[in-house]
Structure 1
Amino acid sequence: MLSESMLAHERIRDVIDKSNRTEDISYTKWVYGTKENIEELFTSTPFVGMSPLRTLLHAPMLNYSQNSFIHPLQYVDFLVHYREKAATVVLPSLAITTSNWTEGMKEHPILEINGAFMLKDNENKGWLKLEDVLGIRWLKGPATRATILVGPMDDPVGLVRLVSPRSVIGFEPTNDGVKYRLKIKVIGKVVNLYKEVPIEEFKKVTRDVFKKELIRTFRKTTPQHGDPYQLSLGLYQKNPKLWNKLQKEGKSVTAESLNERDIQVDIDLRLWGARKHP
C-alpha cells in the first residue's frame, strides 16, 4: 500500500530498493495507492462469515471478474511499467465507503477502488476518479466483465453485460505525429430492455456508448496524466526509431492521437435470450 506522499520518485525508489533486499516480499503481491489513512484501510473488516483473505487487499480478481472497473496491479507488473520509459503505471487507489452496505441495520465500512494514480516518467501524474478511467478496462483482456447503460442516463434504451473484450492497437505516422487505431471485439448479453428497438439500432447505440467511454478516459488522461492505454508503449515496441523522434518532439501521444472515428468496435450480441426481434 502506497500513500500519496510515497508516490514521489525518490520515495518509490527507496521502496523498490528495500523490497529487492529481502526474500520475504513476494513479487505477486497486489499494489495500491491511497489518499486515506493506511491504518484504517488495513483494519477494515469483511462481512460476518467471510475470510479477510477475500477482501480487495488480498483477492481483488474475485471482484474484478464479476464487475470490472480498474484492473488490479501486481508488484511485478508495477516494476515492469514503472521502469519502462514508454509505459504508464495505472495504480488503483483504495478508499473506505459506508454508503453501499449495511450489517445488523448499521452501516458497514468496506474497501472500494475509487480511482487511480497515473505514474509516468518516474513521476506521479496525478489521481483520477473512477468514472474518468473506466475506459481502461476494455483494453485489459478477456477477464473484463462489466455492465453498461445503453443510451442517455435520463432515457436509457437498455442494460448490457459486456464480457471478454479483445483489443488490437495500430498506428499510422502523420505529418504532425502519429494516429492510433483501436479495434475491439466484445461479447454482449442484454440484461434489460427499456424500449422496443431493432437489434441493429440497439447495437449501434451500444457501440456509441462504448466508444464514448473510451474517448472520455483518453481525453481525461492524455497528455497531462499519462497514457493508460499504453499507446506510446506499443509504438515504442514496434517502431522505436519513430517513437524516439516523436518523444523528443513531445508528440508520441497527444490529444489528437485518438478520436472516436479511430475506434472500431465489434459487439457480438449472440446471448440475446428469449427476446423476439422486432
Structure 2
Amino acid sequence: MKRRIKQFCIICCLLPLLTSCWDADEPNKIRYIYGVGIDYKDGKYEIYAQIVDFINIAKTDQPIQDAIQAEVGRAKGNTVEEAFFELYQSMDLKLFWGHMTYLVFSEEALKEGRANTIINSFLRYREIRYQTWIYATKDSVEDVLLLDPLFNNALTRLKLADPMNSYQQESFIEPIDFRKLVIRLNEPSHEVNIPYIKIDDKWNSNKEKDKLPKFDGIGILTPKDLKGFVTGDKINGLQWMSKETKRGEITVPREDEFVTIVIDNLKIDVEPKIQGEEVKFDIKLNMNALLSGFEGTITEKEVRSFVKKQIKKEVEETYLEGLDIDVDIYRLSEYMYRKDLEAWKKVQKDGKVPLTENSISNLTVDVNKVYSGRKSFRETVE
C-alpha cells in the first residue's frame, strides 16, 4: 500500500511537467512573415519582409475597409543574414517564418550567383518550407510586396500566394516553388525557369486603380548566373512544352476576323536520338481543342489546321529565343538524360547537350478531339 502511495505521489509531481509549455510562444506575441523580397544595390543586400496580421486576414466575408493586413519592413546588410538581423533590431515581437509563402527576387539579386547564396540561406533555416513560391521581377520589390488582392480580400487570395488557383484556368507560366527550383538546378540542364512578374494597373474600381501582379514571362537561372528574361508573346511556346499545362489558348487570323481556340488535355512526347555527331529531338504534341466564338461557318478541319500551324509556330519561336541567350528553354537535355544516359554522357557539357536551330528535327502537332461548345460548327444566331 505504501508503495502505491509513493508511486502516486511521484506521478502527481511529474504531471505538471508533462502538461506545461514553458518554452512555447504565445500567438499574440509573434509576428508572422508571409512574403519576402530580395534586392541587391551598391554592394549590399536589401531585404523586404512582409508581416501579416492574421486577425484581419481571417475576416474575408465582411472585410474591414481600412484594416491593414500587412506591413513591409526594410533592411540592408553585406549578407542576407546580416540584413535580417538588422530588421530584428526594429521588431517589437518575435518573427515566425513558418508561414512564409513566397519569395520575390529582383533582377540584380539573381545575377552573379547571388541567387544560389540566397537560396542556401533560406533553405538551411528549419522554419522555411519547400512549398514557398519563387518569382522574379524588374519592378520595385517593395511595391510588389505592397500589392493587395481585389475587393479588399485576404492576402492569401493574391496570385503570388496562390498561383495554382488561376493556373487551372490559364496555364501561361508554370509556378515554381523551392522544391522544384532546387531539383531543376541540380539536374540537366542545370537551368530553371522562374516566373517573371510585373505590376499590372489595368483594373479599376469606383475609388481608385487597382494594381495586381501579372505573369509576363520567365527569368532563366543557373547556379552561377541569370541568363536573362523571355517575356510577352516570345514565351508563348513554353506552355505547349510543359507537362504541367492545364489549359491555354491560341488566337489566329481567319479572313477579316480572329478566332480564339482553347487548348487542353495536352500530352507531350520527346524522343532524343543521335545522328552522326549531332543530337536531334522528335517532338510530338497531342491535345484537344475547344472553339466557342466565331463568325460564319467553320469546319473541324479548319480548326485542326489553325491549331497545328499556330502551336508549331509558337514552339519554334520560343525555342529560338532560348538559343539566343544560350538557354535550353524546353529542358531537352533532361529528356536525353532520362532516356539515354550513356549517349548523354558522351555529348553533354556542364549538363547540357549542344543545341542548334536544327536540333528539333521533327515537330508534330496532333489534335485529338475538336469541340464546338454547346452548338455545332455553325453560328448560334444566323
Give the structure-2-normalised TM-score: 0.66
Number of the residue aligned with 2:145: 42
Deviations 1:227-273 (A, max 9, x none): 121111111222233223323498532221115xx111121334223
Structure 1: distance between partners of 2:253 and 2:290: 16
In 2, the alpha carbon distance for the partners of 1:165 and 1:189 equals 13
- Point out the structure with max Rg over C-alpha: 2
For residues 245 and 192 of structure 1, the distance between their equivalents in structure 2, rounded to whole angstroms, comes to 51
Cα separation, 2, equivalents of 1:66 and 1:266: 22
Corresponding residue to 1:228 among 329, 335, 338: 329
Which residue in the other structure is 1:132 paired with? Answer: 234
**Are 2:188 and 1:88 equivalent residues in the alignment?**
no
Map of 1:25 onto structure 2: 128
Task: Report the Cα distance in structure 2 between the residues aligned to 1:105 and 1:49, rounded to whole angstroms.
Answer: 12
Q: What is the deviation of 1:62?
A: 1.2
Query: C-alpha distance in 1, partners of 2:226/2:310?
Result: 30
Query: Which residue identity is paired with 1:217?
Result: T
Query: Deviation digits for residues 63-107 of structure 1, max 9, x if unmatched?
Result: 211112111011100011112242420111111011x21111632
Question: Alignment partner of 1:151: what SS?
Answer: strand
Partner in structure 2 of residue 166 of structure 1: 267
1:182 and 1:156, CA in 2 relative to 1: closer, same or farther beyond 3 A?
farther
1:53 paired to 2:153: no
- Give the AA of the match of 2:328: D
Equivalent in the alignment of 1:114: 216
Q: Tell me the SS of whatever aligns to 1:133.
A: helix
- Cα contact 2:167–2:246 (8 A) shared by 1: yes
Match of 1:73 among 176, 179, 196: 176
Compare 239-248 and 132-141 and name the one that shifted more: 239-248
1:209 paired residue number:
310
Shift of the 32–132 alpha-carbon distance from structure 1 to 2, 3 Å rule, reads same
Measured at CA, do residues 252 and 223 of structure 1 come closer, stay the same or move farther in structure 2, by a change above 3 Å?
A: farther
Does structure 2 retain, via aligned residues, the 8 Å contact 1:190–1:269? no
Task: Determine the structure 1 residue equivalent to 2:344.
Answer: 243
- Single out whichever of 45-54 and 213-222 deviates more from structure 2: 45-54
**Residues 115 and 142 (structure 1), Cα distance of their counterparts in 2 relative to 1, 3 Å cut:** closer
Q: Percent identity?
A: 23
Q: How many residues align?
A: 274
Q: Once the 2 structures are TM-superposed, how far is the Cα of residue 4 of structure 1 from its aligned partner?
A: 0.9
- Any gaps of 5 or more consecutive residues in structure 1? none
3-state DSSP of counterpart to 1:61: helix
In 2: Cα distance, 1:85 partner to 1:232 partner: 6
Q: Which deviates more, 28-37 or 154-163? A: 154-163
Q: Distance in 2 between matches of 1:131 and 1:165?
A: 20
Deviation, 1:9, is 4.5
Deviation beyond 3 Å, 4+ runs, structure 1? 154-157, 248-251
1:13 & 1:270 partners in 2: Cα distance?
45
Compared CA separation, residues 242 and 170, structure 1 to 2 (3 A)? same
CA 1:61–1:253: 2 relative to 1, 3 Å: same
- The answer to which of 86-95 and 32-41 deviates more is 86-95
Deviation at 1:170, TM superposition (A): 0.6
1:145 has 2:247 as partner: yes
Alignment partners' CA distance in 1, 2:121 and 2:377? 61
Q: In the alignment, is residue 3 of structure 1 matched against residue 103 of structure 2? A: no
CA offsets 1:138-195 (integer angstroms, 9 cap, x no match): 222364211211336x844522111121111112211241111111111111022234
- Give 1:124 shift: 1.3
Amino acid at match of 1:61: M
1:94-145 per-position Cα deviation (integer Å, ceiling 9, x unaligned):
11011x2111163211111122111246331111113111211122236421
Q: Which has the higher contact order (CA 8 A, sep 6+)?
A: 1
Q: Which amino acid aligns with 1:132?
A: K
1:180 aligns with 2:281: yes
Matches of 1:276 and 1:74, distance apart in 2 = 42
Return the alpha-carbon distance in structure 2 between the equivalents of residues 121 and 222 of structure 1: 19
Separation of aligned partners in 1, 2:113 and 2:377: 61
Aligned amino acid, residue 17 of structure 1: N
Moved more, 166-175 or 2-11: 2-11
In structure 2, do the counterparts of structure 1 residues 151 and 55 end up closer, same or farther at CA, with 3 Å as the change threshold? same
* Conserved? CA contact 2:203–2:209, under 8 Å: yes
Please report how far the alpha carbon of residue 2 of structure 1 lies from its aligned counterpart in structure 2 after TM superposition. Answer: 1.2
Uncovered stretches (5+) of structure 2, i.e. residues with no partner: 1-103
Residue identity opposite 1:240 in structure 2: L
